[in-house]
Amino acid sequence: MGRSGGGGPAILLMSAVLVAGVAVCDGKLKVGFYSRSCPTAESTVASVVQQFADADSTILPALVRLQFHDCFVKGCDASVLIKGGNNNAEVDNNKHQGLRGLDVIESAKAQLESECPGVVSCADIVALASRDALAFTGGPAFDVPTGRRDGKTSNLRDADVLPDVKDSIEVLRSKFAANGLDDKDLVLLSCNHILLLLLAYYIIASVDHGGELTMATTLYNFPLPGGRKGADPTIPESFLSELRSRCAPGDFNTRLPLDRGSEGEFDTSILRNIRNRFAVIASDAALYNASATVGVVDTYTSMLSTLFGPYFREDFADAMVKMGSIGVLTDRAGEVRKVCSKFN
């Protein structure tokens, strides 16, 4: 699929993907799916994303996260958008804590319903908005195959399968493999953190779904030989001192950048930090502690990769498209919701 190396906030960049015609992807999804049934679909989504970003730029990385959270739970079917009356919908799971961007999707849906009633699915809007958000932050622009339909179920416990920052590398690999994603995809999609960094979007050292302070576990309560607890021994001493000075036990308010030294750019800095043992969260550090993924990290941080490949931006875009194809509903499966937050 065609793509450009850069991406700015120009909405024309998003609508231009249709110029090359319609390309088939995965036999069911295809680029330009709405070119006849709703020609304004992609440009409308891009316009709405831009409007929200003009008011709050942190919504852009949030939209990328929204797609990740949707696709990893029973596929890319917009089930995460459903609001239940008894706190039993998927979105109510603690693993979705802090999820944002649902109002962006709903706004785009409302506008598309006035332009092309009953045509564009909420699942496709999520995928397009994520793609647009990535391009608007300076990431790669790429074509997104569409044709998804919306799911008809949304259950609280379904989201238990989401990857967790405390998961071991074996568990992470297993969860990615269950969705048809390999070790390379694991490393690349872990770089979704880059999107969380781009606009000074920080991880908060707060209580996670298990009631445990994640950073405190890494800095103070890491299991050590002999039943002792202390700091993760893989953290460099200077970095450990820096983190401890900023994140004391019981601190629920400190914000730490996930990517030291490159918080405002889309690049491979987070992978270099992982390689140099400056990863802030455990699931990132695990990527360089496992034989299955250490080579992938090294490949993208090599000085020669910018000249001879592999090319991070292109591969990142490919991984995003691959993730966006997880468990999709097409043809007569599912439905096209009139309102994204509730079933028809």
Domain boundaries, the chain: 3-161, 169-319
Residue 143 annotated as binding site: no
> Mind listing the pLDDT tens digit for each residue in 183-214?
999 888 876 544 343 332 333 333 333 333 35
What is the rounded average pLDDT of the residues 133-159?
A: 93
Structural contact between residues 115 and 88, judged by C-beta atoms closer than 8 angstroms:
no
* Local confidence band at 277 (pLDDT 50, 70, 90 cut-offs): low
User: What is the average pLDDT across 158-170?
Assistant: 85
Are 56 and 101 spatial neighbours (Cβ–Cβ below 8 Å)?
no
∠ CA 116-119-122 to the nearest 5 degrees?
110
Strand partners, 223: 229
Question: CB–CB of 126/78 below 8 Å?
Answer: yes
Q: What is the 3-state secondary structure (H, E, C) of the chain?
A: CCEECCCCCCCHHHHHHHCCCCEECCCCCEECCCCCCCCCHHHHHHHHHHHHHHHCCCHHHHHHHHHHHHHCCCCCCCHHHCCCCCCCCHHHCHHHCCCCCHHHHHHHHHHHHHHCCCCCCHHHHHHHHHHHHHHHCCCCEECCCECCEECCCCCHHHHHHCCCCCCCHHHHHHHHHCCCCCHHHHHHHHCHHHHHHHCCCCEECCECCCCCEHHHHHHCCEECHHHCEECCCCCCHHHHHHHHHHCCCCCCCCEECCCCCCCCCCCCHHHHHHHCCCCCCHHHHHHHCCHHHHHHHHHHHCCCHHHHCCCHHHHHHHHHHHHCCCCCECCCCCECCCCCCCCC
Over residues 243-273, the pLDDT tens digits come to 677 666 665 555 555 545 554 456 566 676 6
pTM passes above 0.95: no
Higher pLDDT, 283 or 17: 283
Does 185 belong to an annotated binding site? no
Of the candidate ranges 35-49, 279-293, 328-342, the one whose mean pLDDT is the lowest: 279-293
Kindly state the average pLDDT of the residues 54-70.
89
Question: The dihedral of CA 53, 266, 34, 126: what is its sign?
Answer: negative
pLDDT number for residue 58:
79
Q: What is the dihedral of CA 91, 323, 131, 42, to 10 degrees?
A: -90
CATH of domain 169-319: 1.10.420.10
Report whether 259 belongs to an annotated binding site. Answer: yes
Cα distance between residue 208 and residue 93, in whole Å: 12
- 92 annotated as ligand-binding: no
Asked if pLDDT for residue 164 goes beyond 70, the answer is yes
Is 193 labelled a binding residue?
A: yes
Residue, of 233 and 91, whose pLDDT is higher? 91
Please give the span between the terminal C-alpha atoms of the chain, in angstroms, as a whole number.
34
Highest mean pLDDT among 17-31, 166-180, 203-217, 218-232: 166-180
Count CB neighbours of 222 within 10 A: 17
| Residues designated as active site | 69
Domain 3-161, CATH among 1.10.1200.10, 3.40.50.10490, 1.10.12.10, 1.10.520.10: 1.10.520.10
